């Protein structure tokens, strides 16, 4: 079965077609490719030599191929994120299982701090990815239900429902694919020399993970795309970026607040999150103002902004999920998940600070640069915590359970 997108005559837009190979003439296939990973899947070149198809092969309506293709990508991106997050959990299971069995100096290597660090980081990133997947998935389902209640057909509601969350789908694709890359790499490292053997359980995991950053749109394309989509929504008035951006600039000129945060659960962390959002507004707003249309060609700056957006969305997802669990069951029941959130919070702050600094270095000079760098420092302040102990807390639970256990 083939799904192909092509232009009919002089149509402005492309059209989708669906047909089986034996229904057409002139279609030839090259031999199967020998690939680095996902070797059980079919990958081969397809050649069309004056292929004619019947009009009944049109997929959807004439000229609507681009919309179909884009929505297929949106769905594919969140599905990919869910799939690779599940694979990351399995990679952790293999890694901790091996770490508990493999003994060095008469003790399991799982008892060593360096191994516990790896397990905790793998689990942290996987938990955060899971939180983002469930958040976006529920948002999409809720939006589809609203559209159906407004009178749209189920098919149209699904198309528009997913399209509304195209930015989130791009974020999750990037994040999830980089989580599986990290998790499988660390799993091989925990296995040591055995992990490099084709006979080990994690060798194929490592190879198969690599394609995740390439298909459904490379991570570079998705990063550029998500910033472009946000700016487009701002230009069309769908979202208001200018008002909060101006508010952030005004705040930079004022004296910082020294009010103590409330004692509500995650109050301190939510305050940090709000400041990280201000950082994005400050950097993205400055980039848009200084570069204008040239921002599209300044891809390094766009990538910096994308990285900041991804970190904020994923951090917020993890905090929201954990907050719900704690309010339902109590903090003691989810102690390790709280450690995960604190561990990731500090990671996100560092990533946002680094990317914000790089972007400001690229677009500003002199006093203006100094002022916004001071703003960046102000908005990326975070309370010091003992991350080593939080990571050990996370790893202890995984080692005891001998598997990933933070669903």
Q: What is the pLDDT of residues 117-136, one digit of tens each?
A: 999 999 999 999 999 999 99
Distance of CA 78 to the CA centre of its chain: 9
Concatenating the DSSP letter of every residue in 314-349 gives HHHHHHHHHHHHHHHH-GGGGHHHHHHHHHHHHHHH
Q: So where are the chain's domains?
A: 2-59, 65-220, 239-401
Residues 199 and 315: their CA atoms lie apart, in Å, by 37
Residue 61 has pLDDT above 80, yes or no: yes
Q: Is the pLDDT of residue 157 over 70?
A: yes
pLDDT digits (tens, 9 = 90+) for 367-392: 999 999 999 999 999 999 999 999 99
Task: Assign domain 239-401 one CATH number from 3.40.50.300, 1.20.140.10, 1.10.10.10, 3.30.70.270.
Answer: 1.20.140.10
The whole-number average pLDDT for the span 21-30 is: 94
When mean pLDDT is compared across 56-70, 204-218, 238-252, 327-341, the lowest value belongs to 238-252
Residue with tokens 């925990």: 190
pLDDT higher than threshold 90 for residue 366: yes
Q: What is the pLDDT of residue 260?
A: 66
Rounded mean pLDDT, 238-266? 80
State the pLDDT at residue 243: 85
The tokens for 122 are 């793998």
Same fold, 2-59 and 239-401: no
Put residue 151 in one of left, alpha, beta given phi > 0 → left and psi -120 to 50 → alpha.
Answer: left
Catalytic residue among 178, 216, 311, 351: 216
Which of these ranges, 62-71, 183-192, 261-270, 320-329, has the smallest mean pLDDT?
261-270
Known active-site residue 216 = yes
Looking at the DSSP bridge assignments, the partners of residue 19 are 2
Res 34: pLDDT: 95
Residue 400's alpha-carbon distances to 84, 93, 339, in angstroms, are 24, 12, 16
Average pLDDT over residues 73-88: 97
**Separation between Cα atoms, residue 240 and residue 284, nearest integer Å:** 13
Q: Tell me the pLDDT of the chain averaged across its residues.
A: 95
Mean pLDDT of 223-242: 91
76-98: average pLDDT = 98
**For the domain 65-220, what is the CATH code?**
1.20.140.10
8 Å CB contact between 294 and 104: no
Question: Is this structure's pTM higher than 0.75?
Answer: yes
What's the Cα-to-Cα distance from 109 to each of 343, 375, 392, rounded to whole Å? Answer: 22, 44, 14
Section 128-148 average pLDDT: 98
Per DSSP, the three-state class of 285 is helix
The CATH number that domain 2-59 falls under is 2.40.110.10
State the pLDDT at residue 255. 74
Q: Which of 157, 214, 153 is nearest to 180 (CA)?
A: 214
Tokens found for residue 263? 């004692």
Least confident of 221-230, 248-257, 264-273, 374-383: 248-257
The mean pLDDT value for 280-296 works out to 93
Alpha-carbon distance values, 23 to 1, 31, 51, 54 (Å):
10, 20, 10, 9
The answer to whether the beta carbons of residues 216 and 77 sit under 8 Å apart is: yes
Overall average pLDDT of the 213-226 stretch: 97
If one counts every other C-beta atom within 10 angstroms of the C-beta of residue 358, the result is: 16
The first and second tokens of residue 193, run together, are 């020399």
Rounded CA gap, 379 and 285, in Å?
Answer: 15
Average pLDDT over residues 292-316: 97
Query: What pLDDT is attached to residue 258?
Result: 66
**What's the confidence (pLDDT) of residue 261?**
65
The residues with which 28 forms a beta bridge, in sequence order, are: 47
């Amino acid at each position: 079965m083939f799904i192909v997108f092509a232009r009919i005559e002089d149509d402005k837009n492309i059209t989708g077609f669906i047909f089986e190979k034996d229904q057409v003439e002139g279609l030839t296939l090259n031999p199967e490719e020998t690939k680095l990973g996902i070797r059980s899947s079919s990958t081969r070149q397809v050649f069309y030599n004056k292929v004619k198809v019947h009009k009944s092969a049109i997929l959807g309506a004439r000229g609507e191929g681009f919309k179909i293709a884009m929505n297929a990508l949106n769905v594919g991106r969140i599905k990919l994120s869910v799939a690779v997050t599940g694979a990351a959990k399995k990679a952790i299971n293999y890694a901790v299982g091996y770490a508990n069995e493999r003994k060095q100096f008469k003790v399991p290597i799982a008892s060593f701090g360096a191994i516990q660090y790896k397990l905790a980081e793998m689990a942290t990133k996987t938990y955060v990815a899971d939180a983002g997947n469930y958040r976006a998935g529920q948002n999409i389902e809720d939006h589809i239900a609203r559209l159906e209640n407004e009178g749209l057909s189920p098919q149209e509601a699904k198309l528009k429902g997913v399209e509304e969350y195209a930015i989130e789908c791009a974020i999750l694709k990037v994040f999830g694919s980089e989580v599986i890359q990290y998790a499988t790499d660390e799993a091989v490292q925990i296995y040591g020399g055995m992990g490099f053997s084709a006979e080990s359980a994690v060798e194929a995991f490592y190879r198969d993970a690599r394609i995740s950053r390439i298909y459904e749109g490379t991570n570079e394309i998705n990063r550029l795309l998500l910033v472009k989509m946000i700016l487009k929504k701002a230009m069309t008035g769908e979202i208001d970026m200018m008002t909060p951006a101006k508010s952030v600039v005004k705040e930079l000129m004022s004296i910082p607040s020294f009010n103590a945060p409330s004692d509500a659960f995650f109050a301190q962390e939510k305050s940090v999150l709000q400041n990280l959002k201000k950082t994005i507004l400050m950097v993205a707003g400055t980039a848009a103002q200084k570069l204008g249309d040239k921002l599209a060609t300044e891809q390094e700056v766009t990538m910096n902004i994308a990285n900041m957006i991804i970190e904020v969305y994923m951090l917020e997802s993890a905090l929201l999920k954990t907050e719900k669990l704690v309010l339902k069951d109590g903090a003691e029941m989810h102690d390790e998940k709280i450690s995960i959130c604190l561990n990731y919070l500090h990671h996100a702050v560092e990533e946002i600070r680094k990317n914000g600094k790089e972007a400001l270095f690229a677009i500003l000079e002199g006093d203006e640069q100094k002022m916004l760098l001071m703003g960046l420092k102000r908005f990326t302040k975070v309370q010091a915590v003992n991350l080593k102990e939080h990571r050990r807390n996370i790893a202890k639970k995984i080692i005891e359970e001998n598997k990933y256990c933070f669903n």
